[in-house]
Amino acid sequence: MGRPNRLTPASVRAAKSAGRYADGECLFLNVSKTGAKSWVARITRNGKQRDIGLGSVSLVTLAKAREACRDVRAQVKAGLDPIAERKRAAGVPNFRTVAAKLIDENRKSWSNAKHAAQWLSTLETYVFPKLGDRQIDEITPADAKDVLMDIWLEKPETARRVRQRIGAVLDWAHTEGYRPDRVLLPTAGKGLPRQPQGVRHQPALPYSKLPEFMADLRSSDNISRLALEFLILTARRSGEVLGANWAEFDLDNQLWTVPGERIKTEKRKADPKPHTVPLCPSAMALLGRLQKYKTNHSDLLFSGLKRGQPLSDGTLAKLLRVMEAKDEQGRQAVPHGFRSTFRTWVSDATSYPRELAEKALGHALPSHVEAAYDRSDMVNKRRQLMAAYDSFANGTNGVVALAG
């Protein structure tokens, strides 16, 4: 007698409830929540379970689905990847084609068109001349090494970015079934000379890109975006911003006093002094926007998901990763880096004195004699400075000078 099957053409037509109905030998009828019906072959390959779609019930009969499932099982027994074999039947593309598909697929998730253009420009300059026309399944770590060799020492940051992008293209090709396995590109660097190690600073957004970044940041409104915007407008550290509570603000005089215990200093002090921050117009407006996020159980400006706890610094870092905020060397910007953005703007684009910028950042003056004589908080002058930075960040003013 033949194998009894759980499914018949009549039972397939009658299946209405969402779920999976087994036919045996790895074949399943899948009914979605919307009532759509399709065939799925569930296989186990290399110890991992995978589902392979075999088509819609409206196009593939039960008999055809069983036949397709048997073909899939035969390929697995022969050590083949059914999905890869399906893609191979349609032809294996070259590196250039796969890169174009990857860029097109990710274009919507990238914050702006420039990132896609940078991706393509990097590949066109350094990769396509050697690998562009090669079939994607033929490329090896040794091929990637040959590409990197020319720029590894001369342009180390660019070389690391090129390696990452080659790896992303090859990984995407693997997930799409064009390659039978992944390529671990870090191994491509083992045969390359050691790159010089310089001083590593916190990755920071170039100040020239700040107005565009702020416009992107303000394109939607949520608590994490408001926290990052407030951090930028006040040039404060993330711990000071995320721990801020409403009692610290003098809204009438547009001042924020950060308690000493929440201020990080280069040298640990038993009793660090509080720091007064003059609030620029955009920072004051932001406090008004924050009113809708106030809760009865917390006085925090930026409450997190846990009751009585602030947002985490990781939340801001994740937001930056999503926004793809990168400096000109391609490194990921971090929240603390915006203090560097502010400091560089003061030096390069204004005539404000160094001492005022250092005071705004809460840095101690390097000269003990200078610090002893300068006991002023320079609040009024710092208010002018922060207002000028606000105008620059809004794209309404570029180069400014200290008013008399």
What is the mean pLDDT of the segment spanning 270-285?
Answer: 86
We report the CATH number of the domain holding residue 238 as 1.10.443.10
Whether 32 is in a domain gets the answer yes
380, amino acid identity: N
What is the mean pLDDT of the segment spanning 229-255?
Answer: 94
Q: Is the pLDDT of residue 212 over 50?
A: yes
We report the CATH number of the domain holding residue 150 as 1.10.150.130
Same domain, 179 and 215: no
Of 168-182, 204-218, 322-336, 366-380, the range with the highest mean pLDDT is: 204-218
pTM: 0.50
Same domain, 240 and 182: no
For the record, the structure tokens of 251 come out as 């809204």
CA atoms 54, 59, 62, 67: torsion sign = negative
Domain boundary among 89, 108, 137: 89
For position 393, what pLDDT does the model report? Answer: 94
Of 56-65, 229-238, 315-324, the range with the highest mean pLDDT is: 229-238
Pairing of the two strands 255-258 and 249-250: antiparallel
What is the mean pLDDT of the segment spanning 200-217?
Answer: 82
Same domain, 36 and 119: no
Same domain, 227 and 359: yes
Q: How crowded is the C-beta side of 363, counted as CA atoms within 13 Å?
A: 13
**By mean pLDDT, which of 163-167, 176-180, 274-278 is the weakest?**
176-180
- Domain total of the chain: 3
Whether 2 is in a domain gets the answer no
Looking at per-residue confidence, does 5 or 153 come out higher? Answer: 153
Same domain, 219 and 360: yes
Same domain, 102 and 136: yes
For position 25, what pLDDT does the model report? Answer: 82
Which residues span the domain enclosing 267?
A: 207-393
Same domain, 122 and 238: no
Domain boundary among 89, 113, 144: 89
Domain boundary among 33, 66, 89: 89
176 with 168: CB under 8 angstroms? no
Contacts of residue 334, Cβ cutoff 8 Å, sequence gap at least 6 = 202, 203, 204, 317, 320
Whether 166 is in a domain gets the answer yes
Whether 293 is in a domain gets the answer yes
pLDDT band at residue 327 using 50, 70 and 90 as cut-offs: very low
For position 199, what pLDDT does the model report? Answer: 43
For position 26, what pLDDT does the model report? Answer: 87
What is the mean pLDDT of the segment spanning 233-258?
Answer: 94
We report the CATH number of the domain holding residue 69 as 3.30.160.390
For position 3, what pLDDT does the model report? Answer: 52
Same domain, 36 and 162: no
Same domain, 342 and 213: yes
**By mean pLDDT, which of 50-59, 70-79, 104-113, 143-152 is the weakest?**
104-113
Q: Is the pLDDT of residue 165 over 60?
A: yes
- Condensed to tens digits (0 to 9), the pLDDT of residues 372-404 reads 434 457 899 999 999 999 999 998 764 444 443
CA atoms 277, 280, 286, 291: torsion sign = positive
What is the mean pLDDT of the segment spanning 355-380?
Answer: 67
Whether 4 is in a domain gets the answer no
Whether 276 is in a domain gets the answer yes
- Condensed to tens digits (0 to 9), the pLDDT of residues 136-148 reads 888 888 888 888 8
For position 400, what pLDDT does the model report? Answer: 46
For position 392, what pLDDT does the model report? Answer: 93
Same domain, 256 and 177: no
Calpha distance 279→385 (Å, rounded): 10
For position 187, what pLDDT does the model report? Answer: 53
For position 260, what pLDDT does the model report? Answer: 84
Calpha distance 175→79 (Å, rounded): 17
- Condensed to tens digits (0 to 9), the pLDDT of residues 92-125 reads 788 998 899 888 888 777 656 777 788 888 899 8
Whether 195 is in a domain gets the answer no
